[in-house]
């Protein structure tokens, strides 16, 4: 068994980069949230070994995946589907775990390509308008206001963002997208597009039909991204949904309460 993250690959057709963790067990695909990367789930994937192997996907406009000129959830779901069909899911359906924006992509993936999805886990997001969009607008505006040309080292960026983004954990999460090369710093994620398409990211397209497979809907106890009124739409699209709440967790459930998150995944996906 290989516990390190390997190998990595990028689809020439979709431009999607992904990394495999482990080489045996049930197959799980992880889809990250806005301004994240597949590697955000590395420790979760390692904790699920040896019963599971995982594919950590960089969604388009994030990480090492390619950039697009426009953004829509159906297009993102279709791109992920093409990437999975070409390799990881070629042998049959896989489990899919999606957080926040990645949760919306995961839901559309299950609805549009149900043959690819065995069990679905949707983490702290609902199939509708996201109430936390204002928070991400502030974060993205703060990053866009950073003068990259004035930076001489990575710590400069952390210091200059401290007032606007006081939580060091959130700053660290965002600054993982800051790269150096060619004589200066640049954003690895497509910051301009993500800012412009934030209303699209915060919404959810009209969806028809339903996904009949089992679904685990995970909420953070201290998060406001899932509201009671979201239940009706979730049940219509995913009639076999079970909702669990992770105590002590906010929106970033997997990083704030990793042990409880792994336990929930083990019971639902591997039990």
Do the Cβ atoms of 39 and 15 come closer than 8 Å? Answer: no
**Active site amino acids:** 100, 192, 251
Rounded Cα–Cα distance for residues 34 and 62 (Å): 8
DSSP per position, the chain? ---SEEEEEE-TTT--EEEEE-SSSEEEEEE--TT--GGGGHHHHHHTTTTEEEEEEE-TTSTTSPP-SS--HHHHHHHHHHHHHTTTTTTS-EEEEEETHHHHHHHHHHHH-GGGEEEEEEES--SS--TTHHHHHHHHHHHHTS-GGG-SSHHHHHHHHTTTS--HHHHHHHHTTEEEETTEEEESS-HHHHHHTHHHHHS-----S---S-EEEEEETT--SS-GGGHHHHHHH-TTEEEEEETT--S-HHHHSHHHHHHHHIIIII-
């Amino acid at each position: 068994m290989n516990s390190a993250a390997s190998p990595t690959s990028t689809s020439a057709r979709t431009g999607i980069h992904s990394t495999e963790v482990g080489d045996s067990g049930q197959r799980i695909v992880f889809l990250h949230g806005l301004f994240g990367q597949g590697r955000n789930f590395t420790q979760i994937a390692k904790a699920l070994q040896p019963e599971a192997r995982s594919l950590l996907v960089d969604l388009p406009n994030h990480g090492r995946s390619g950039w697009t000129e426009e953004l829509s959830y159906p297009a993102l779901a279709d791109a992920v589907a093409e990437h999975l069909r070409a390799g990881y899911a070629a042998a049959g359906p896989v489990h899919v775990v999606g957080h926040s924006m990645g949760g919306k992509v995961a839901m559309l993936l299950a609805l549009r390509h149900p043959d690819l999805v065995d069990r679905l886990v949707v983490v702290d997001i609902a199939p509708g308008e996201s109430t936390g969009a204002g928070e991400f607008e502030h974060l993205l505006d703060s990053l866009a206001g950073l003068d990259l040309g004035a930076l001489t080292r990575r710590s400069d960026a952390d210091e200059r963002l401290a007032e606007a983004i006081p939580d060091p954990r959130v700053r660290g999460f965002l600054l993982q997208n800051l790269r150096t090369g060619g004589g200066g710093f640049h954003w690895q994620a497509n910051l301009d597009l993500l800012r412009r398409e934030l209303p699209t990211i915060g919404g959810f397209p009209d969806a028809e039909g339903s996904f009949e497979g089992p679904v685990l809907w995970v909420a953070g106890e201290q998060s406001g991204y899932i509201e009671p009124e979201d239940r009706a739409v979730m049940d219509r699209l995913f009639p076999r949904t079970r909702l669990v709440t992770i105590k002590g967790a906010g929106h970033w459930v997997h990083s704030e309460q990793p042990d409880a998150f792994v336990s929930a995944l083990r019971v639902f996906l591997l039990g």
